[in-house]
Chain A
């Protein structure tokens, strides 16, 4: 059972010319689908997991810790999984030449990080809570605050790119990307939870976001 969003989702206008229309072919169950790349510590820089220390000064905004586990659908942790994140700054602005939102760039914040999961599948980033920002998908459209995550599992077909949201955002019901996941319970799995255990006293609020990768084709058999 897939709970992923459909390709064709008219409320998200960019799908109109990009969603494939022909039926998908059955996924082959071969080694090509069941294997995947392994990344080592060599892929990472020392400050990659702390987005608040990548520049000479401190970025503006609310410092947060985002952590969780990467799991298989049977509950096993995914070890040494590469987790990559990117996000807007506290003002809702990306360090990208095509971002025209008239909000300030923060010279002390790039908004990109990477880490590997540990033996229990844990990952952890220190960052700044991103701001909401407008987009031109529809009149007065605003994206709820989110952090983009990219993950590798054991198999290349477990590859996942998703977005992590923050609890209680009033923009959820108006966001066609969040709402593209039709099943309410599945949508809720995109929302992080505020977490005292992750919260660092007198330093940073903590948010927990566990990620479950799809089963490999073999496990579906």
Chain B
């Protein structure tokens, strides 16, 4: 038996009443990794009604059922943030987070990954980054004083690389 999947529909502008009631962006309270950034549209304007979800392995590089998921709605400036800890390398891949972004105007979510700027050697050997070719640079976060910064650019010359879902 093969059932056909239920199609996706946009999350719309009012999802926060249902999906952002409980704060879900501190995976590890006081955790050593803060990751933040903005969701930007094709005119470089912030997207104030996007929802960012992450999925990551634990520090040992294993996926755990009860750890590793987070959700953050963007604010008026398109900003999101997570407090967590750095995942370990998984399955021969460099440490990374999986990111899904939902928004008004996205009829289905975009899927991407965030890699770490201090993992040059592991990144160079990562098969997913290698397959991304010229666009691989859009998948590596920037290091700032207090955080890692990763902007999601939905469109334009500097568009983030997204994966087929």
Contacts and interface: CB of A to CB of B under 8 A. Distances in A.
Interface in B1-39: 1-19, 21
Interface residues of A, number: 73
A82 to B, nearest CB: 10
B41 to A, nearest CB: 4
> Which of B90, B110, B163 is the most central at the interface, judged by chain A CB atoms within 10 Å of its CB?
B163
A189 B4 contact: yes
A11 to B, nearest CB: 11
Contacts of A35: 55, 63
Contacts of A15: 105-107
Contact of A94 (B14, B69, B128, B163): B14
Given A18-B41, A19-B105, A73-B2, A190 B13 contact: no
B2 A31 contact: no
A86 B14 CA distance: 8
B102 A32 contact: no
Contacts of A99: 14
Nearest to A159: B100
Interface in A29-44: 30-33, 35-38, 40
A18 B4 contact: no
A212 B6 CA distance: 5
Interface stretch (B91-99, B117-125, B143-151): B91-99
A28 B163 contact: yes
B141 interface: no
Nearest to A19: B155
Contacts of A163: 9-10, 12
A4 interface: yes
B54 to A, nearest CB: 9
A7 B163 contact: no
Nearest to A163: B9
A156 B164 contact: no
A57 to B, nearest CB: 19
Contacts of B13: 96, 98
B18 A148 contact: yes
Contacts of B102: 161
A206 interface: no
Interface stretch (A59-67, A166-174, A178-186, A193-201): A178-186
A190 B9 contact: yes
A186 B13 CA distance: 24
A75 B161 contact: no
Contacts of B159: 20-22
B15 A86 contact: yes
A171 B10 CA distance: 17
B17 A86 contact: yes
A157 B47 CA distance: 23
17 contacts: A4-B5, A4-B7, A14-B10, A17-B42, A18-B42, A25-B161, A31-B57, A32-B91, A37-B65, A37-B68, A71-B3, A73-B3, A94-B17, A112-B21, A163-B9, A187-B7, A212-B4
Interface of A: 2-7, 9, 12, 14-22, 24-28, 30-33, 35-38, 40, 71-75, 84-87, 94-96, 98-99, 110-113, 148, 150, 156-157, 159-163, 177-178, 180-181, 185-187, 189-190, 210-215
